[in-house]
Amino acid sequence: MRKEQQLTGVERHFAADDVIVTKTDLKGRITYVNRTFLDIAGLTLDQALGAPHSIIRHPAMPRCVFKLLWDTIEGGREIFAFVVNRAVNGDHYWVLAHVTPSFGPDGKIIGYHSNRRVADPRLVRDVVTPLYAELCAVENAQADRKQGMLAAHAALVAKLQAAGVSYDRFFFSLLDK
């Protein structure tokens, strides 16, 4: 997918009982996808395999959330997150992602596995979209992309600390609403 891909503003949906599955290597290159992923992303198997998982990155997705995700899974822990992705034609779709490291027989991380389900549209609308817009604004306020990501990550950490909760507790509290 090209960076200049126009966004359509059209949201794609998939069935509540469907699960999007991908696996990547240590660098985030796709090594496995299921049919649901191909259908919702609008990709062929040849386009997906070997491509960076960021091929579906939507510009409204804060980079600092991906920093949190990578820091967590590279540390050997699982993470749950709301993610907005971009289909090949510029449509978008929201998911509730569960990303885990995959371990080899020696206990070392050999890749990553992600299962995604339908995200609750009420939570996306009322909580996640405003939070992500705030984080993107912090990122975009910096001339340097990396500094923007780090500033937004610090803002997210400060917000969680001010609320007295860990990221995991914050995330799971949303599901209880």
Q: Which CATH number does the domain housing residue 50 bear?
A: 3.30.450.20
Instruction: Please identify which residue in the block is written with the tokens 């992602």.
Output: 97
Query: Is pLDDT of 58 > 60?
Result: yes
Q: How many helices (H) and strands (E) does the chain have?
A: 7, 5
Give pLDDT tens digits for 77-89.
999 999 999 999 9
The per-residue b/e assignment along 87-104, b for 16 or more CB within 10 angstroms, e otherwise, is: bbeebbbbbbbebbbeee
Cα dihedral value 105, 106, 109, 111, nearest 10: -30
Q: Does residue 69 fall inside a structural domain?
A: yes
Range of the domain at 103: 20-166
> Mean of the pLDDT values across residues 55-84?
96
Q: Does residue 31 fall inside a structural domain?
A: yes
> Mean of the pLDDT values across residues 120-130?
95
Ramachandran area for residue 2 (φ above 0: left; ψ -120 to 50: alpha; else beta): beta
Q: How many domains, the chain?
A: 1
